[in-house]
Amino acid sequence: MARDGLTTGNICFHAVASASNMGAMKNSNSIVLSELLSPAAINLNLTSADRTSVLEELVNQIPELARQPAARETLLRALHDREQLHSTGIGDGIALPHARNALVGLVDHPIIVFGRHASGIPYGALDRVHARIFFLLIAPTVTQHLAILARLSRLLRDPGLREKLLGLERPEKVISTFREAEAKI
Alpha carbons 60 and 68: distance in angstroms, whole number: 10
pLDDT interval class at 38 (50, 70, 90): very high
Alpha carbons 173 and 164: distance in angstroms, whole number: 10
Q: Are 123 and 131 in contact (CB under 8 A)?
A: yes
pLDDT in tens, 84-98: 999 999 999 999 999
Ranges assigned E (strand) in 9-130:
42-46, 89-91, 94-95, 111-121
Q: Check residue 139 and report its DSSP letter.
A: -
What average pLDDT score do residues 92-118 get? Answer: 90
pLDDT at 149 (0 to 100): 93
Q: Are 110 and 148 in contact (CB under 8 A)?
A: yes
Q: Are 175 and 39 in contact (CB under 8 A)?
A: yes
As a whole number, the mean pLDDT across the chain is: 85
pLDDT in tens, 132-180: 999 999 999 889 999 999 999 999 999 999 999 999 999 999 999 999 9
Show the domains of the chain with their CATH numbers.
Answer: 40-183 (3.40.930.10)
Ranges assigned E (strand) in the chain:
2-3, 6-7, 42-46, 89-91, 94-95, 111-121, 131-138
pLDDT in tens, 46-68: 999 999 999 999 999 999 898 99
Alpha carbons 166 and 89: distance in angstroms, whole number: 16
How many angstroms separate the Cα of 33 from the Cα of each of 84, 118, 124, 180?
Answer: 27, 23, 25, 11
Alpha carbons 107 and 40: distance in angstroms, whole number: 16
pLDDT at 106 (0 to 100): 85
pLDDT at 100 (0 to 100): 79
Alpha carbons 45 and 115: distance in angstroms, whole number: 7
The verdict on pTM exceeding 0.85 is no
Q: Are 125 and 95 in contact (CB under 8 A)?
A: yes
